[in-house]
Amino acid sequence: MKLTVLGCAGSLPGPNSPASGYLFEAEGYRLLVDLGHGAFGALQQYVHPADVDAIVISHLHADHCIDLTAYVVALRYGGEGYRLRNRIPLVGVPGTRDRLEAAYDPLARKLGLQELFAFATPAAGELGPFSMSYALVNHPTPTNAVRIGYRDRALVYSADTGVSDELIKLAEGADVLLCEASVGAHEEQVPNLHLTGRQAGEHADKAGVERLIVTHVPPWNSPQAAADDAAEAFSGVIEVARPNAEYRI
């Protein structure tokens, strides 16, 4: 499978990257995971919005979901080229539809967003060629880490989390851990909110993954410093997520 990073800035878009958004592709199937500030614009470099096959939203903080409102505008007002053949499955925590409706327009129920998206809550199973499984991680709002498998390969996306045994369990034996590292080494850390680079490395090490991709670093911190900190705890391959980067997994 191929992963394309649409955006990887943590907590808000930065000067060089949108907020979180990731596109997974295999066998012509396009799976979008998260769509934070600016990520919808980046998505259009790679796929027509009407051709996305499914969407997974890890949680309802704006930097992971707010560009769904732009998605609605495109599908509703983009004309014939944006007409959907079928509703797009949209998997998210309970309340995802209400959150989207409130963010888009208080009268959104009258606009029938269910005509655009088939809302569902996370459950282990298949999305096209991908096998999907989820785990609730430690964040102030309900948040799912996501494991995406294709044939004999697997990537786990941490979403936003503090220290999490459930993330380690979900990532056991995966090829890649795409893991947030929001907190700088010298910043005060709030429990059950975000990880440091070193903690991202510790999670990768305990899960036994082959490769760690550090992501969700806010604009005021250094992604490379986060990766360097991760290397203190993880001896495998460590990379830094960059916007427009592509990975074959």
Residue 92 pLDDT? 98
Which residue, 27, 67, 63, is CA-closest to 44?
A: 67
152-180 as b/e: b if 16+ CB within 10 A: eebbbbbbbbbbbeebbebbeebebbbbb
Question: Kindly report the CA angle at 236 between 223 and 171, in degrees rounded to 5?
Answer: 85
Q: Using the 8-state DSSP alphabet, how is residue 87 labeled?
A: P
Residue 111 pLDDT? 66
Mean pLDDT, range 10-27, rounded to an integer: 98
Contact by Cβ (8 Å): 116, 76: yes
Look at residue 61 and tell me whether its pLDDT is greater than 80.
yes
Q: For the chain, what is the mean pLDDT?
A: 96
Contact by Cβ (8 Å): 34, 56: yes
d(CA 122, CA 132): 9
* H/E stretch holding 63: helix 62-65
Kindly report, residue by residue over 188-206, the tens digit of the pLDDT.
999 999 999 999 999 999 9
Q: Indicate yes or no: pTM above 0.75.
A: yes
Mean pLDDT, range 67-92, rounded to an integer: 95
Question: Kindly report the CA angle at 174 between 169 and 180, in degrees rounded to 5?
Answer: 75
Look at residue 74 and tell me whether its pLDDT is greater than 90.
yes
Kindly report, residue by residue over 81-138, the tens digit of the pLDDT.
999 989 999 999 999 999 999 999 877 566 678 899 999 999 999 999 999 999 999 9
Q: What is 20-55 written as a DSSP string?
A: SEEEEEETTEEEEEEE-TTHHHHHTTTS-GGG--EE
Which residue, 41, 6, 1, is CA-closest to 23?
A: 6
Binned at pLDDT 50, 70 and 90, residue 52 comes out as: very high
* H/E stretch holding 102: helix 96-104
**CA end-to-end span of the chain:** 5
Contact by Cβ (8 Å): 205, 233: yes
Residue 139 pLDDT? 98
Residue 208 pLDDT? 98
Binned at pLDDT 50, 70 and 90, residue 69 comes out as: very high
Residue 112 pLDDT? 77
Kindly report, residue by residue over 158-188, the tens digit of the pLDDT.
999 999 999 999 999 999 999 999 999 999 9
Kindly tell me the burial class for residue 239, based on how many C-beta atoms sit within 10 Å of its own C-beta (0-12, 13-18, 19 or more): middle
Which residue, 174, 119, 120, is CA-closest to 146?
A: 174
Percent of the chain with pLDDT over 90: 94
Neighbours of 141 (CB within 10 A): 12
Residue 105 pLDDT? 85
Neighbours of 151 (CB within 10 A): 11
Residue 110 pLDDT? 62
Binned at pLDDT 50, 70 and 90, residue 21 comes out as: very high
Residue 154 pLDDT? 98
User: Between the CA of residue 240 and those of 5, 173, 222, 227, what are the distances in Å?
Assistant: 11, 20, 10, 7
Residue 106 pLDDT? 76
